[in-house]
Structure 1
Amino acid sequence: MASDDNHTDGSNYGYTPSSAWCIAFIVLFAVSAAVHTVQAWRYKYWIIYPTLVLGALVEVLGWSGRYWSSQNVTLLTPFLMQISTLIMAPVFFSAYDYVVLGMAINKLGPQYSLLQPKYYFATFITADVISLILQAVGGGQASSSAADGAPTQSATNIMVAGIIFQLVSMGIFLVLGLDFILRATSEKAYGFRERQIAKKALKRQEKAGRIAAEKPTLTHVGSDDTRVGVEGHVKPSSTDVEAQHLKEEQHEEHGHIRNWWILLAGVLISSTMILIRGIYRSIELVQGWDGYLITTEMYQNILDALMMLIAVGIYNFIHPGYLLPRKKSWRGYH
């Protein structure tokens, strides 16, 4: 799908965006958003709505702007529309990555993580919000300056700062994630994290002991473990039944643990795509509005759109609703 070079005069892109590529990405992001909407409703994962669904819809909006430009490449409004939306969309995808990694660490072993699971979401979402604000302010100023015919360099610098901030935070996130995976697979826990966990467990036990001491003791008279059936058969003892249940629970738990690792692979794939896209966008904007990257459509299609499609689409397949025990309510992330 090659772009049409017949109407590049006066184009803010340096080319005329290919309508075929634009339509393809509009459809693909819209399908991913629709599937995520249904999946989130069915499996009760509300966190997917303000992250993956919203991010995919922002991508649809951005590619709609590019399609609008393909019909009239001299218009400024769709150009600014797609610049602002496509730069900000990955923030929503990375937010979901943070949530899932925190959940996985909590399940697979918090002693292998440098940060406590709850801090992943709080820390990196804060970083994303800062990045989003910088990119929104820069994009707004760039739009205003471009509309007035004024220089856009200072606004561009703010946008670059926002993208680089996001890039650095995503890089740190990936390093922490890989560190957790390596430590968990080799069973090398952080000593200070083990002490923290043991201290919290002790406090919980002491609290439970105090509560139990305050409650009246009830005496329960049990019956024999073994009972003889009407036809003379010996029924299994409660000990045998408990052992069987324990065996079944251990087998089920092993399957759940394996599925958490599959979900974690999805996080690494999505995060890597966002990182690649961030590197591309940073270099693109540093080169300026007439630089080689921003005026070559192929890079936008591959290093931005395709990367983001993988980042959001991977969770349509590696979905917590398919891999983890079914949620019974909308409360919590899982």
Structure 2
Amino acid sequence: MAKLEPYVGDYYLWEYAPSLGASIAFLILFLVPTVFHSWKAWKTLARFCIPFCIGGLFEVIGYGARAACTNKTSELIPYIIQSTFILLGPVLFAASVYMVLARMIRSVGGEKYSLIRITWVTQTFVAGDILSFVVQGSGAGMMAMEGMGDTAKGVVIGGLMIQIIVFGFFVVTAVVFEVRMRHFSTINHGDRSWEWKKHLYPLYAVSALIMVRSIFRVVEYAMGQKGYLLSHEWTIYVFDAVLMWGVMLIWGYWHPGTIRQEVNGAQLLSMGGYQSKT
């Protein structure tokens, strides 16, 4: 039976003994779509989906380590592994999400409707994502250092805030593109296929889930070790695991790896069950 034990003295890493059943369940729930996404990325030659696949692998490793923590609540290494990998997985999901917008805009010839220059779209958001990844990873690593708990918490919150700001700007960019495309369509009836909306809306859904999860994480760390969110296990599953699993399901059903662009500039769009005629 799982037993809560102190790491050193009267200091506990956990406020509860993590559930073995829940950890194994989400390990499996993340493993299945990760395998699917890896196969889909290989089949469609979608290299921009590689970070997404790695993000899924991070989730699998994270919940695997969390399962190991059930009977090792006093050990630091498995605690750090589960915390770090579960924290960073969504950052890698975001990297692929950022890359899709530029491909989508190009696929409908909508470069002039983008809020920022199309050649900067991917670079701008991926650069912000890398910065967020490095900062959050540094904070997670500092948790293993004695006496660095408060500093580590502050660094992780800073990395999460970077992610939220970058994601917010990304959503604004996507919305502005949609509004401008709608306006163009009103003036030029029939000049643009509305297939692009079927790709943009899943992008909004995925972005919303990642944003909610990031806000939850900021509040969680801000409340501290003794706060309600960190001291009750159900919160990480409801506001992190379930949301990120939803991201993988949405991304799998409307997979962006099939977006195509013809050399001569004509547009082809196909995602998931929606197929355009060539």
Which of 184, 191, 213 is the aligned partner of 1:187? 184
* Rounded Cα–Cα distance in structure 2 between residues aligned with 1:163 and 1:28: 25
Match of 2:103 in 1: 103
Report how far residue 325 of structure 1 moved.
4.8
CA contact (8 A) 1:101 1:177 kept: yes
> Could you give the per-residue CA deviations for residues 260-315 of structure 1, whole angstroms, max 9, x where no partner exists?
32122221111111100110000111111221111111110011111111222211
Structure 1 residue 13 displacement after superposition: 2.5
Structure-2 residue corresponding to 1:312? 248
Distance 1:61 1:305 in 2: 13
Is the Cα contact below 8 Å between 1:142 and 1:152 reproduced in 2? yes
Match of 2:15 in 1: 14
- The structure-2 alpha-carbon separation of the partners of 1:91 and 1:15, relative to structure 1 and needing over 3 Å to count, comes to same
Q: In 1, Cα distance between the equivalents of 2:257 and 2:212?
A: 28
What is the Cα deviation at residue 61 of structure 1? 0.9
1:64 alignment partner in structure 2:
64
Specify the alignment match of 1:158 in structure 2.
155
Shift of residue 78, structure 1, vs aligned partner: 1.4
Aligned-pair distance for 1:15?
A: 1.1
Post-superposition CA distance 1:89-137 (Å, at most 9, x none): 1111111111111111223322222112221210011111111111111
Given residue 75 of structure 2, which amino acid in structure 1 is its aligned partner? L
Residue identity opposite 1:138 in structure 2: G
Whose radius of gyration is greater, 1 or 2? Answer: 1
Percent identity for Structure 1 against Structure 2: 27
Shift of 1:19: 1.4
- Asked if the contact 1:62/1:86 (under 8 Å) is kept, the reply is yes
Paired residue type of 2:178:
I
Report Cα offsets for 1:127-163 as digits up to 9, x if no partner: 1111111111111111122xxxx24111211111111
Normalization by structure 1: what TM-score?
Answer: 0.71
Describe how 1:118-129 pairs up with structure 2 within 5 A: 118-129=119-130
Residue of structure 2 in register with 1:217 after alignment:
none
Give the TM-score, by structure 2 length.
0.84
Provide the alpha-carbon RMSD of the alignment: 2.5
1:81-100 matches, cutoff 5 A: 81-100=81-100
* Counterpart-to-counterpart distance in 1, 2:180 and 2:168: 18
* Distance in 2, Cα, partners of 1:283 & 1:188: 41
> Is contact 1:112–1:187 with CA below 8 Å preserved after alignment?
no
SS of 2:231's partner is coil
Counterpart in 2 of 1:52? 52
Matches within 5 A, 1:1-334: 7-8=3-4, 10=6, 11-49=12-50, 51-108=51-108, 109-145=110-146, 150-187=147-184, 257-321=193-257, 324-325=259-260
Q: Corresponding residue for 1:216?
A: none
Aligned-residue offset at 1:188: 8.5
Give me the whole-angstrom Cα distance separating, in 2, the residues matched to 1:9 and 1:295: 15
CA distance in 2, matches of 1:321, 1:79: 35
Q: Is the contact between residue 55 and residue 92 of structure 1 (CA under 8 Å) also seen in structure 2?
A: yes
Contact 1:170 1:271 in 2 (8 A): yes
Structure 1: state its 5+ residue gaps: 190-250, 329-333
User: Tell me, what secondary structure is at the counterpart of 1:290?
Assistant: coil
- State the distance in 2 between where 1:309 and 1:136 align: 21
8 A contact 1:36–1:316 mirrored in 2: yes
Q: Distance in 2 between matches of 1:106 and 1:297?
A: 43
Residues 258 and 298 of structure 1, relative CA distance in 2, 3 Å threshold: same
Question: Structure 2: which 5+ residue stretches go unaligned?
Answer: 7-11, 264-268, 270-278
